[in-house]
Structure 1
């Protein structure tokens, strides 16, 4: 019997290794991390990011810079640093790259926070959102709580969740880059600058999960638990399958593919920051709640956000990023 026990030891060790290598959605590390993404914490962050004293976060303005400093403070508190090749969280976007739809803009900054992977750190999952909005018009602050304060604070909560997993010994195998871009409101300028001057090669970038408005509902869907998922199979059939499985095993939202229609008159696939990754061959998903009554109005305020919906949509993005980061094989690009 003693010899039999010794024979069983390698098998037990192999099983333990197998379990450690497959961090399933039902596993404790994933569940604890996902549950750390709460409506209350999202609300706390958003009431600050979209406060009147941020002055609508106009691109390159002091209000936007103030919001950026808040984001960095939160990353520092949770112990999430910037990429090692950078001296700070800021990627400066020079004024010559800030020529927008309404003329020249001042120098601005993308903000980058980074959780390094444990096994394949050179492979990067980007989770992006723009943190600028349209500022003050006729004395009224355009707070941009949904556009895109919702995506901005979602990144904070996801970074905290991944960092929690890492501290418990279950950090992502691939690296996660949390990318807050500037200049979206003036023509996707910050994401274009990053794509043209990437901190990590585009060839090493596995996917971009981009969030631009996930805290409200549009007229077609109010009362439903849903989110628009745009572009998930434009470049990779793997990505859509992963997205749907992540949703099924976690929050079970209705995934609406309306805007994947090639005849979509709004052409939303081309209108947010993910497109600067897609046009460089990086698979993308754009998460969106629809064009609602307060879009680009001073009434886009934190008190009108559905924080439970914001929580569930953030958890969906987190679950998708978790699978992309921890699966054995990198997703394939099999479409053009």
Structure 2
């Protein structure tokens, strides 16, 4: 009898908690997409890519200050950590880096899903850059990857506003800011070797690395984004991505670097690849390289903020659809 009463009580509690959430299909997703604004992206990036953060080199004081900035922003938005309490850091010990770099941190935040909470949609970007050179020049990394980092903050805010209105995503969202990308994708490698949530429960990784500029190939044709990896593992993900773009944003989706024979091999050069290695479907959002790539001249005044806003909205809408569709993405290809 006690067991019956206990299960009945749990069922009642669960029922009450579900009733707090509205049917997400009734939400006007563009209301939340439009919360992603030029002004907020610009404000974030002028701070995050300022000299105050000293180029955000892995394990150095500037990187740690950047981690604190991200933590404070998530707390301000009331987006909790999956680690519990005030702990937003997945610590990576110096020994993992073979003592070449100091301890560092991935920064994590989490919105739990309403119906399939065990299924995880990862949105990622690296927040480290390459620091300060021997002559004291600060490499601010506004595009690489300040742009992806602050885009994630805006995407998190959009999801959180929807959740506060009762439209919690059906699947959980993990916001994963990784360190050590510039050292060899080390922060994302550490996460996939020490996942907070089982990799078999990870539905996709939508990775954003440089979305604030226009590359030479698109001068005069600026409404574009390179997509890499969308069709490598999941036809579902590729088709969903195309449909979302056609419905909401209408950017030119350029697949030049998605070619298996691409000599740049960008598919293997950002953090999504550590997920793809585990047969987790990925999309890498990328604007291509430019004259300021990995130079001290990669500064926030050179960012195309209107275009960056469109690209950020595309990522948000794609994540929204992945998180809220009836079925989990099907992996129908393999590495």
Offset of 1:222 from its aligned partner? Answer: 2.3
| Residue 275 (structure 1) shift | 0.3
1:147 maps to 2:144: yes
Aligned residues: 312
Give the Cα separation in 2 of the matches to 1:299 and 1:132.
16
CA contact (8 A) 2:24 2:169 kept: no
1:225 aligned residue: 223
* Structure 2 CA distance for aligned equivalents of residues 314 and 217 of structure 1: 15
Please say if residues 24 and 167 of structure 2, whose CA atoms lie closer than 8 Å, have aligned partners that are also in contact: no
Which of 279, 283, 288 matches 2:281? 283
Structure 1 runs not aligned, ≥5 long: 1-16
Map 1:1-336 → 2, pairs under 5 A: 21=23, 23=25, 27-28=27-28, 30-84=29-83, 88-99=87-98, 104-137=100-133, 138-223=135-220, 224-336=222-334
RMSD: 1.4
TM-score (norm 1): 0.91
Structure 1 residue 279 displacement after superposition: 0.1
Write out the 4+ residue segments of structure 1 that deviate beyond 3 Å after TM superposition: 84-87
Give, in angstroms, the shift of residue 249 of structure 1. Answer: 0.7
Partner SS for 2:25? coil
What is the TM-score with the length of structure 2 in the denominator? 0.91
* Unmatched runs of 5 consecutive residues or more in structure 2: 1-18
In the alignment, the residues of structure 2 paired with residue 155 and residue 299 of structure 1 have an alpha-carbon distance, to the nearest angstrom, of 23
Q: Is the 8 A contact 1:22 1:327 kept in 2?
A: no
Q: SS in structure 2 opposite 1:91?
A: strand
Indicate if the aligned counterparts of 1:129 and 1:210 stay in contact, CA closer than 8 A: yes
Distance 1:98 1:213 in 2: 25
**Is the Cα contact below 8 Å between 1:95 and 1:107 reproduced in 2?**
yes
